[in-house]
Amino acid sequence: MSETTIETPTKKKKSGGRPSTLRLLLNNTLATAGLVVLAFVFVVALAAPLLPLVNPDVTEPANRLQPLFADGHLLGTDALGRDILSRLIWGTRVSLAVGVSATLIAAFIGSLIGLVAGYAGGRTDNLLMRGIDMIMAFPYILLALAIVAALGPGLLNALYAIAVVNIPFFARNIRGITVGLSRREFVDAARLSGKSNASILFGEILPNVLPVIIITMSTTIGWMILETAGLSFLGLGAQPPQADLGSMLGDGRKILFTAPHVSIIPGVMIFILVMSINLLGDGVRDVLDPRLKSGALARPVMRTAVMRDQVPDIAPQEDATLDMQGLKTEFHVGSDVYKAVGGVDLKVRQGECLGLVGESGSGKSVTAMSIMGLVPTPPGRIVGGAALLEGEDLFSKSDEEIRLLRGLAVSHVFQDPLSTLHPLFTIGDQLVEAIRAHQVISHKDAMARAEELLKTVRIPNPAERLKVYPHELSGGMRQRVCIAMALANDVKLIIADEPTTALDVTVQAQVLSLLNKLRQERNVGILFITHDFGVVSTMCDRIAVMYGGKIVETGTTEEILSSPAHPYTEKLIACVPVLGEPDRRLDAIEGRPPVVNALPDGCAFAERCPYAKDDCRKGDLALTDLGEGRTVRCLYPVSGDKAKQGECDV
Amino acid sequence: MGAYVAKRLLAAIPVLFGLSIIVFVIMALIPGDPALAILGSFATPENVAKLNQDLGLDKPMVQQYFIWLGNMLQGDFGRSYTLNRPVIDEVLERFSATLILAGPALVLCSIFGLLAGVISAVKQYSWADKGLTFTVLIGISMPSFWLGLLLIFSFAVKWRLFPPSGMYAIYGGGDLPDLIHHLTLPAITLAVVATGVIARLTRTSMLEVLRQDYIRTARAKGIKERRVIYVHAFKAAMVSVIPVIGIQAGFVLGGAVYIETVFQWPGIGSMLVKAISTRDLLLVQGGVLVVAAAYVLFNLLVDVIQSILDPRLR
């Protein structure tokens, strides 16, 4: 490990993050407004000694309680005849100074505790964090009160008290991040290179933790200004003649009925200050917290948006359960358009299993999820093509019609059964719900039906299993439950999106043979999505291979496995280990799948294809018919024999 | 379930223990001679020495702590020198008044916070969402003591709809309608900030949950979208909202310090403020301990509710 590798993570952040951060922040109108107001208040407060203001502490009993806009006193005077405007600006100065100092103290001590606890781990971590928990066990302001009670009222003591009670927020946030970072490679590398713990902590980890410290500061500083003002309001902070906004408010309270402006004005100032800080803080958090970037938190609606320029006219075919033609699905993120699916045709006949095969990112899942509108919108949208279910175009149907078909005519089995089952409902409840969504049936009968379903998928003790929660089952059992759920009604098509990828190999085989058996018994069509040719060979009648959002080859399973025509298919098959052939070399396909917002001209696979020629990179390639239901999208299809001979190195 | 509750109860013991240590240490931080502080600057040295002995302050710290803790556990919190009555009596009386104020405030902020958060999430990016999000931001940026003053000025002084202060009317009051009449303004004031915090969190966690795989599964089953949102998503979102309601209980109890002062509510908050300014430290110590202990027990209750909701925690 050299120095350069160690430095990369920190450097990347600096060069990549900085310029765009401010720009992103300024794109947010509210945050900009907050920034402008806050900057104005700061400048005025800092310039207070230079401004032509009356001395804030000079009393003038003859001029007491002047109203707003009085002569020489723009905001009037208080009970002792002091100029409110002058006191307001000087008070803001004090409040800001106290709030900012308290934040810095809390951030410094809290971050230090968090860094040390997270980095040291073990007993140090335990001891420090238990102490932090103790502080957090107090109702926030109560602990501050106890500290002020012990130290005695006064602005400085209030500052300390507020800083102390805010330490836990920093300690906990920073510790969480530090624990994660301490296990990263660049920290190991620094350790191996002989750096001291202190220099790793402050040289390597701190720069990466800084954004979190800033986020925490921006979310707590407004709060701290409020709380110090509060203590002063109660008479426990600033003591006369010194005044901050809180104590001004507290003084004015006594004459609220006769001269409300004396207390209302400092309150408005606190409010403006805190509001602008919060607006800015929210903006900063949105920019620095990657989770919230690019509308990642946008709520997906119930069905994928369909925005087709024209509705293709397709003649319904007798034997097809599903007939999809020219499907185009895109993701619109900001100004980028990701063409995940670029014109896909698929056909699943009654009782047939069609395997849709490809690497991650080839668009196979998006194709499958488009059928019943389960691609999240935003950002997804279907922009072209049609999907005919028994002759009727699904994309032309209303949301309610689609809802009624989901689970009744077409059901889904998803990849990870732990995340796809609701963690807070029992298996029984979830099965009953699937049944009663489409059948008018009593809860009791539905329960009996659910038990039968569990029996169908060969789950032992079905009656007891109805009462358990998903996390109490093994992965294989959970996936059986998902299959049972897919069979809850008399479906015609099951869309299985990598249903065995998350399972152990032995469990995989059981689940596959179960699906196969059910398909034959019930004559259900299956659209089976996978990246695994081993699985394909045991399950599927026909195969469609996808690459870069397009189908590159179709045919029967035997034909494709024995003589793949597309170089990509050939490569995929070569990656599957075969029992009894220990000499076979297993190679990953070199390179990566294309990025779908910048698809190349011509064949998308040309970049990685060993046989690619110049004309492969021009124009749109058509799917050519090889006869007997076989098609391939390639100018130079390979003869089928090479793959069998185990020639899979490039 | 019973085992879980027992486990949580046991886990609360060291926390309560820690609380008492922190309070003890803070009280030991008091600069100068406590006996001198109690007796005033004109005390004779003999009196100071005697009081030190009476208070056990001549013993080592650790021993002092255990004597102190022993007294606490027997309900002996000492005597308030300003009120000349046992601290525990005063504290319990005042704390019940605080609960009458804080309880309804917590209920209010939970109801309105959840409501606003769910509406915001379901109608994401609509005018309702923008309006609510902005209102919530105003709510959490406002000093609650100032909001209290504004409400008193408008609703009590100008329009005379509610009494400006106190818990009961001095003449002829004392019944429930009278209490509710007095409670309305302070409870609303106290609830505002917490409502905002809960609303924000509910919105975020609803949005986060609605992107989960099990929501897609629910939709794939063909159940009604209303059920997807208000049963599936809401229940899952509550898992992260409920602990925050527990934390907000602490902010509501703390915020009561301001609100009780503004509305002259005879609760523990206004008692503490007065006790601090009169340096009645035994009263401060007793008040802080009782409220903190109650808060720990309340969070225990929140944990139990949480485990009922989320079977993975049991």
Residue B109: is its pLDDT beyond 60?
A: yes
Say which DSSP state A588 is in: P
A184: tokens are 């990263």
Chain A residue closest in CA terms to B193 = A223
Note whether A484 and A449 are within 8 A (CB): no
Say which DSSP state A336 is in: E
What are residue B249's phi and psi, to 5 degrees? Answer: -55, -35
What are residue A83's phi and psi, to 5 degrees? Answer: -70, 120
- Which position has the token pair 């309305």? B184
Note whether B33 and B53 are within 8 A (CB): no
Residue A10: is its pLDDT beyond 60?
A: no
Residue with the larger pLDDT of the pair A10 and A570:
A570
Chain B residues with CB-CB distance to A149 below 8 A: 26, 272, 275-276, 281, 284
Say which DSSP state A580 is in: T
- Name every residue whose Cβ is closer than 8 Å to that of residue A509 and which is 6 or more positions away in sequence: A538
Does A156 contact chain B (CB < 8 Å)? no
Residue A532: is its pLDDT beyond 70?
A: yes
Say which DSSP state A58 is in: -
Does 3.40.630.30 match the CATH number of domain A21-51+59-292?
no
Q: Do A146 and B212 touch (CB under 8 A)?
A: no
Q: Do A142 and B311 touch (CB under 8 A)?
A: no
Q: Do A234 and B250 touch (CB under 8 A)?
A: no
Classify A377 as helix, strand or coil: coil
pLDDT of B70-79, one tens digit each? Answer: 888 888 888 8
> Nearest by CB to A433, which of B206, B223, B261?
B223
Residue A7: is its pLDDT beyond 50?
A: no
How many angstroms separate the Cα of B44 from the Cα of each of A84, B35, B39, B50?
A: 46, 11, 9, 10
Does A155 contact chain B (CB < 8 Å)? no
pLDDT level of residue A3 (50, 70, 90 thresholds): very low
A64: tokens are 């007491």
What is the spatial distance between Cα A222 and Cα A96, in angstroms, rounded to a whole number?
10
Residue B192 is which amino acid? V
The percentage of residues in chain A with a pLDDT greater than 90, rounded to a whole number, is 30
What is the spatial distance between Cα A501 and Cα A219, in angstroms, rounded to a whole number?
41
How much is the pTM? 0.86
Of the candidates A28, A100, A144, the residue with the CA atom closest to the CA atom of residue A273: A100
Could you please report the per-residue DSSP string of A254-317? TTTTT-THHHHHHHHHHHHHHHHHHHHHHHHHHHH-GGGGGGTTPPP-SS-EE--SS-------
Residue B146: is its pLDDT beyond 90?
A: yes
Residue A527: is its pLDDT beyond 80?
A: yes
> Between β-strands A624-627 and A630-632, what pairing exists: parallel, antiparallel or unpaired?
antiparallel
- Name every residue whose Cβ is closer than 8 Å to that of residue B23 and which is 6 or more positions away in sequence: A146, B285, B288, B289, B292
Residues present in chain B in total: 314
> Between β-strands A392-393 and A493-497, what pairing exists: parallel, antiparallel or unpaired?
unpaired
Chain B residues with CB-CB distance to A431 below 8 A: none
Chain A residues with CB-CB distance to B299 below 8 A: 137
What is the spatial distance between Cα B55 and Cα B26, in angstroms, rounded to a whole number?
17
Å between B178 CA and nearest CA of chain A: 23
A318: tokens are 């007798």
Residue A9: is its pLDDT beyond 50?
A: no
Residue with the larger pLDDT of the pair B305 and A643:
B305
Residue with the larger pLDDT of the pair A14 and B181:
B181
* β partners of residue A344: A327
Q: Cβ of A575: how many Cβ atoms within 10 Å?
A: 16
Does A502 contact chain B (CB < 8 Å)? no
Residue A619: is its pLDDT beyond 80?
A: no
A509: tokens are 């085989």
Q: Cα-Cα-Cα-Cα dihedral of B88, B93, B95, B101, to 10°?
A: 180
pLDDT of A34-43, one tens digit each? Answer: 999 999 999 9
Note whether A497 and A368 are within 8 A (CB): yes
* β partners of residue A496: A413, A528
* β partners of residue A542: A354, A556
| Range of weakest confidence among A503-507, A522-526, B162-166 | A503-507
Half-sphere exposure of A134 (CA within 13 A, CB side): 19
Residue B253: is its pLDDT beyond 80?
A: yes
pLDDT level of residue A17 (50, 70, 90 thresholds): very low
Average pLDDT, chain A: 84
Domain range annotation of chain A: 21-51+59-292
A107: tokens are 């951030």
Which run of H or E residues covers position A101? helix A84-120
Does A258 contact chain B (CB < 8 Å)? no
pLDDT of B15-68, one tens digit each? Answer: 888 889 988 888 877 766 667 766 777 778 888 788 777 767 777 888 888 888
Average pLDDT over residues B187-212: 92
| Range of weakest confidence among A15-29, A398-412, A442-456 | A15-29
Note whether B312 and A469 are within 8 A (CB): yes
Chain A segment 437-456 residues within 8 A of B by beta carbon are: 437-438
Residue A14: is its pLDDT beyond 60?
A: no
Average pLDDT over residues A413-435: 91
pLDDT of A353-383, one tens digit each? Answer: 999 988 888 888 999 999 999 998 878 899 8
A91: tokens are 């008070």
Residue with the larger pLDDT of the pair A17 and A332:
A332
What is the spatial distance between Cα A226 and Cα A240, in angstroms, rounded to a whole number?
19
Average pLDDT over residues A499-509: 80
Average pLDDT, chain B: 88
Does A299 contact chain B (CB < 8 Å)? yes
> Nearest by CB to A138, which of B272, B281, B292?
B292
What are residue B247's phi and psi, to 5 degrees? Answer: -65, -40
- Report pLDDT for A586: 55
Residue A78: is its pLDDT beyond 90?
A: no
Average pLDDT over residues A609-625: 78
- Report pLDDT for A168: 93
A181: tokens are 């970072």
Does B292 contact chain A (CB < 8 Å)? yes
| Range of weakest confidence among A220-234, A297-311, A634-648 | A634-648
pLDDT level of residue A639 (50, 70, 90 thresholds): low
pLDDT of A574-600, one tens digit each? Answer: 776 666 665 655 556 777 777 777 777
What is the spatial distance between Cα A534 and Cα A241, in angstroms, rounded to a whole number?
83
What is the spatial distance between Cα A192 and Cα A196, in angstroms, rounded to a whole number?
10
Note whether A421 and A430 are within 8 A (CB): yes
Of the candidates A254, A225, A199, the residue with the CA atom closest to the CA atom of residue A80: A254
Residue B140 is which amino acid? I
Does A636 contact chain B (CB < 8 Å)? no
Surface-to-core class of residue A255, CB atoms within 10 Å of its CB (0-12 exposed, 13-18 middle, 19+ buried): middle
Helix A84-120 / helix A122-136 crossing angle, nearest 10 deg: 150
pLDDT of A430-440, one tens digit each? Answer: 999 999 999 99
Domain range annotation of chain B: 88-313
Indicate the CATH number of B88-313 among 1.10.150.120, 1.10.3720.10, 2.60.120.260, 2.40.10.10. Answer: 1.10.3720.10
Residue with the larger pLDDT of the pair A12 and B45:
B45
Beta-strand ranges (E) seen in A416-537 are 493-497, 525-530
Residue A179 is which amino acid? V
B235: tokens are 């229940």
Chain B residue closest in CA terms to A143 = B288
What is the spatial distance between Cα B250 and Cα B263, in angstroms, rounded to a whole number?
20
Å between A18 CA and nearest CA of chain B: 27
Classify A629 as helix, strand or coil: coil
A252: tokens are 């004015």
What is the spatial distance between Cα A589 and Cα B133, in angstroms, rounded to a whole number?
49
Average pLDDT over residues A463-479: 90
Does B305 contact chain A (CB < 8 Å)? no
